[in-house]
Amino acid sequence: MPNSLKYMLTGIVLAAVFLATGTFIGYKLFSPKPETKTKISSQTILTALHDRGFLVTQTFIFDEPVIINKTTGSAFKDLFFGETITARGTMEVNTGIDFAQVNQDDITVVGDTITVKIPKASLFNTRLVGPLDVNNEKGLFKRLTDSDSGYNEALQNLTAAAEKAAQQPELRERSNRRAQEDAARILGYVAQGKKIVVVFK
C-alpha cells in the first residue's frame, strides 16, 4: 500500500475518532440533565404553609351609617342630657386563612395525592377607608359639659357593624370557598404535578 494512502487512511481514522470523542464529550456536557424530583412530605407542605402566615383571601366593603341613641327615656330630660350620634364611613373587612393553625396531623401524603385540612376563613382586620363623617346632636347641658365629638365611639360601632355584616351566611360561604381555592393554588405551586385536596377542619 502506498505511503500516501496509508497516511490518508490514518488521517480519516484519527478524524473519525476525534469527531466521535468530541460528540461524546459535547453530549455529556450539554445534554439536558434528568430532573431531580424533590420528595414532597407533610413537613415540606407544613413549612410552606407556615411561611405564608395569614393569607387574606376575601375583602368586603361596607358603607352603612350607624345611629347611636343615648336617651334617658324622658323627652324633657333628653332635651338637656340626651345625645344622638349619626356616623357614616366606608369600612373594609378582610378575611382569610390562618395557616399557623395547620399542624402536621392535618396533612396526608398518599402517593400523588396530598390532602390538607385548613381552618375556615376568619377575620383578619377591619379598617376605615377614607373619612368618617360624624354628626353629634347633644342636649343643652350635655353640650356644655361634654366636649367629646363621639368620633371614637362612632368608629367602634361602625367596625362592629361591618364585622357583623361580614358574618352573614352567604358572605362566610364566599370567604370559605375562596380560602379553599387559594390554599389549593398555593399547594399546587409547592407540590407540582400532585393532586391537591383541600378540606376544612
User: Nearest-CA neighbor of 196 among 118, 97, 119, 101?
Assistant: 118
Does one domain contain both 74 and 16? no
The pTM of the whole model exceeds 0.75: no
Residues whose CB falls within 8 Å of the CB of residue 54, separated by 6 or more in sequence, listed in order:
96, 97, 98, 99, 100, 124
Does one domain contain both 6 and 50? no
**Structural domain tally of the chain?**
2
Does one domain contain both 27 and 105? no
Does one domain contain both 11 and 47? no
- What's the domain range around 26? 1-36
Query: What is the residue whose three cell numbers read 382586620?
Result: 125
Does one domain contain both 10 and 43? no
Does one domain contain both 5 and 85? no
Q: Under a CB-based contact definition with an 8 Å cutoff, are residues 94 and 129 in contact?
A: no
Query: What is the pLDDT tens value at each position of the chain, 201 positions in all?
Result: 555 555 555 656 555 555 556 565 655 565 555 444 557 888 989 999 999 899 999 999 999 899 988 877 777 666 777 788 899 999 999 999 999 999 999 999 998 999 999 999 999 999 999 999 999 888 666 666 677 788 999 999 999 999 999 999 999 999 999 999 999 999 999 888 899 999 999
Residues whose CB falls within 8 Å of the CB of residue 159, separated by 6 or more in sequence, listed in order:
91, 126, 128
Does one domain contain both 11 and 103? no
CA 82 to chain centre: 45
Does one domain contain both 42 and 110? yes
Does one domain contain both 41 and 30? no
Q: Under a CB-based contact definition with an 8 Å cutoff, are residues 155 and 128 in contact?
A: yes
Cα–Cα distance measured from residue 12 to residue 84, given in angstroms and rounded to the nearest whole number: 105
Does one domain contain both 58 and 129? yes
Does one domain contain both 44 and 12? no
Does one domain contain both 74 and 136? yes
Residue 150 class from Cβ within 10 Å (0-12 exposed, 13-18 middle, 19+ buried)? Answer: buried
